[in-house]
Amino acid sequence: MKVLVTGGAGFVGSHVVDALIEAGHHVVIVDNLWEHGGGKMENVNPKASFYKMDIRDVALQNVFEEEQPEVICHLAAQHSVKISTDDPAHDASVNILGLINLLQNATRFGVRKVVFSSSGATYGTVEEMPVDESTTQHPESPYGTTKMASEYYLRFWKNMYGLDFTILRYGNVYGPRQDPLGEAGVIAIFSRQILLNEPVRIDWDGEQQKDYVYVRDVARANLSALDAGGGETYCIACGKGTSVNTLYRGLVKEIGHEVEIRRAPKRPGDIYLTYFDCSKACDELGWQAEVGLEEGLRLTANYFRENLGIA
């Protein structure tokens, strides 16, 4: 099948592209290699057709006309909470107007389905665990708000124009190609710092837990949704929390030495425990996370070891 992957040069999107190509699909990428995002030419699978283009561009229609994709995996986004707070207009422009441009072209050119990358950030602070698809969304950032609004646009488009969708709400995705200099992505950040013998910063007491999911598992979830889960939403994560201290110790074990730990206070909005119930994805998409934390940390550390040129 022909699949258009927006954001296919980015961290998660490039793994979705690789998995689609491995499964025998034809892939078209639209990505503008935004300077503050994780999109890089070196991530682009050479077997995919690549268009360096903004999803807000009117010229997007030419890509649809030329390529006639059957399904869209939509990952292109402004995904930084900080940038969304500093520049909410840019966040809304890419995440909302970009989505609308995509949806208008999708209906115009007969696309069957959109698989949308949403986020745990749409939930905001949740006291009761686990989080599942029925947990009320109270986003606490412009980014979480535009992701939640995007979900509603998809539902509108399905009701109004019959364009099918599946929404995937990811936990904390980690793995090769994640930006180790970004604001989030603690596993990439720690991997680089430990490999380079630099100090790591651990906020609060380090026992705060989040639900980390390996990027190839997230890519597989996108594949599972090509033909299943129409009109539905799924939480995509591991189903258990892991503390920052555990991540640090796991990477130290993998890399072979400790580094200085600098302690810092709790950050606003930090919560003590987040994890997801992913049983709906298991029951309806036949998907569950397969890469355990130990293996995921090893694969990630190995990637950064090679990438940083460390023997």
Ligand X SMILES: NC(=O)c1ccc[n+]([C@@H]2O[C@H](COP(=O)([O-])OP(=O)(O)OC[C@H]3O[C@@H](n4cnc5c(N)ncnc54)[C@H](O)[C@@H]3O)[C@@H](O)[C@H]2O)c1
Q: Which residues are catalytic?
A: 143
Q: Which of 18, 54, 67, 254 binds ligand X (CB under 6 A)?
A: 54
In the complex with ligand X, the residue whose CB is nearer, 39 or 250, is: 39
Please report, for residues 2, 33, 201, 236, 293, the alpha-carbon distance to residue 80 in angstroms, rounded to integers and kept in the order given. 29, 15, 20, 19, 24
In the complex with ligand X, the residue whose CB is nearer, 97 or 261, is: 97
∠ Cα 122 125 131 (to 5°) = 70
Q: Does 38 bind ligand X (CB under 6 A)?
A: yes
CA distance 256 to 103: 48
Tokens encoding 279: 């049983």
Q: Does 239 bind ligand X (CB under 6 A)?
A: no
CB of 222 to ligand X, least distance (A): 10
| 212-214/261-264 β-pairing | unpaired
CB of 12 to ligand X, least distance (A): 4
Kindly indicate which of the ranges 25-33, 106-114, 250-258, 281-289 contains the residues binding ligand X, using the contact rule CB under 6 A.
25-33
CB of 6 to ligand X, least distance (A): 6
Q: Does 176 bind ligand X (CB under 6 A)?
A: no
Q: Does 94 bind ligand X (CB under 6 A)?
A: yes
Euclidean distance between the first and final Cα of the chain, in Å? 41
Kindly indicate which of the ranges 77-85, 154-162, 189-197, 271-279 contains the residues binding ligand X, using the contact rule CB under 6 A.
77-85
Q: How many residues bind ligand X (CB under 6 A)?
A: 28
Please report, for residues 122, 205, 245, 252, the alpha-carbon distance to residue 262 in angstroms, rounded to integers and kept in the order given. 30, 11, 12, 15
User: According to CB under 6 A, which residues from 106 to 125 bind ligand X?
Assistant: 117, 119
Please report, for residues 214, 222, 306, the alpha-carbon distance to residue 310 in angstroms, rounded to integers and kept in the order given. 23, 33, 6
CA distance 158 to 140: 27
Q: Does 144 bind ligand X (CB under 6 A)?
A: no
Q: Return the sign of the alpha-carbon dihedral for residues 179, 145, 201, 253.
A: negative
Q: Does 149 bind ligand X (CB under 6 A)?
A: no
Q: Does 37 bind ligand X (CB under 6 A)?
A: yes
Residues that bind ligand X (CB under 6 A): 7, 9-13, 31-34, 37-39, 54-56, 75-79, 94, 98, 117, 119, 170, 172-173
